[in-house]
Amino acid sequence: MTSLRMCPAVSGDPIPITGKVTNFESSVNRMDGKGVTTATIAEDEAGVRLDRWFRRHYPALSHIQLEKLLRKGEVRLDGKRAKASDRLCAGQSIRLPPQVRHLPPTPAATSPKAQDASLIRTLVLHADDQVFVLNKPSGLATQGGSGLTRHVDGMLDALTEGRRQRPRLVHRLDRDTSGVLVVARTVPAAASLAEALRRRDANKIYWALVTGIPKPQSGTIKLALAKRSFSGGDERMVPAERDADDAKAAVTDYRVLGVAGRSYAWLAVKPVTGRTHQIRAHLAAIGHPIVGDHKYGGAAAAGSGEITDRLHLHARSIDIAHPLGGRLKVAAPLPPHMMKTWQLLGFDPDTQSNPFAARKPASP
């Protein structure tokens, strides 16, 4: 009886991945007399698009070059013509013509420094065969950027644990925001988690300390945002008319969980949409910037007295559909500077209540 190979229907990766796949040559068979080789798709690459597979393994091959090879039938999938958008199945064979094999391969992964490898392991809150959940510290970037050489993405090789593929980020947190960060261990898991985020089948709750006491003490902020450039190269998200060309709808739910006189309020915040700096821009727009958020709150947001002048925004918990079924629910303890503030103001840092449990998300 001929065995059937099932190819999962999954969506694309939420964060483009450019490489760092180890032991690729072990999946490439010997070339024939014409210089043609075949590569066999491994189980942990099932579900990835054909063009993204080439982007990882042969980044020097442009999309235009790949499309030309596909049109001419020089790149084939299981001996048949293929399209760039085709999803791969474990065990399938890709025909690689000589012009591909002569291109520079994906550079070998660079192992993180011993100190960074040790750090990333201490951040793991949850681990299974599909997913890691980390507690990202405040001040550590999620991904690299201009002038950034130390970031979570650069440390993920330390979590490979002998697998062919390195873990991959599913979403991001601002550099100075701490808390839960989901990392997929396989391509199908990344696609499944990205789809859950796209469908809004994920509840992310943040804790924030803001200046003043919002009125009402629970509500929904519906305010479109647009990116604007300011002097010195600074870019910020600012309120905009919803019909403006570059405006994006943004919705944020909030609840006051505690107050300290008239000076500070502890908020639980749930972003319904996922715009850049959404929580920070929305809370500043209603006159209650997050403590330590000088970008959006200016001098009015500065910490004073024993309250550290650092951003008081923490991704407290996530409840998301697990790639293998059921729900993944993880909560992250507060970072040291916020823990100190909570103790100083008499707030309970261990509360597990979900103030949004009985309320359906608002629509943008």
Kindly report, as residue ranges, where domains of CATH 3.10.290.10 are found in the chain: 24-101
Q: Give the active site residue among 174, 176, 253, 293.
A: 174
Kindly report, as residue ranges, where domains of CATH 3.30.70 are found in the chain: 114-184
CA atoms within 13 A of residue 54's CA, in its CB half-sphere:
27
Q: Is 174 a catalytic residue?
A: yes
Rounded to an integer, what distance in angstroms lies between the CA atom of residue 42 and that of residue 22?
Answer: 12
What's the chain's length in residues? 364
CA 8 to mean position of chain CA atoms: 22
The architecture that CATH gives domain 24-101 is: Roll (3.10)
Rounded to an integer, what distance in angstroms lies between the CA atom of residue 173 and that of residue 139?
Answer: 11
Find the helix or strand (DSSP H, E) in which 343 lies: helix 336-345
pLDDT attached to residue 256: 97
pLDDT attached to residue 23: 39
pLDDT attached to residue 361: 47
pLDDT attached to residue 3: 40
Question: Beta partners for 268?
Answer: 207, 255
Give the CATH H-level superfamily of domain 202-345: Pseudouridine synthase (3.30.2350.10)
pLDDT attached to residue 74: 93
Kindly report, as residue ranges, where domains of CATH 3.30.2350.10 are found in the chain: 202-345
The CATH topology of domain 114-184 is: Alpha-Beta Plaits (3.30.70)
Question: Beta partners for 181?
Answer: 134
Residue at token pair 């491994």: 42
Provide the 8-state DSSP code for 298.
Answer: G
pLDDT attached to residue 232: 76
pLDDT attached to residue 363: 53
Q: Which residues 6+ apart lie within 8 Å of 54 measured at CB? A: 61, 66, 100
pLDDT attached to residue 352: 87
Rounded to an integer, what distance in angstroms lies between the CA atom of residue 318 and that of residue 152?
Answer: 18
Find the helix or strand (DSSP H, E) in which 190 lies: helix 187-198
Alpha helices per DSSP H over 251-333: 278-285, 294-297
pLDDT attached to residue 29: 53
pLDDT attached to residue 11: 30
Residues of the chain under the 70 pLDDT cut: 1-34, 44, 104-111, 146, 358-364
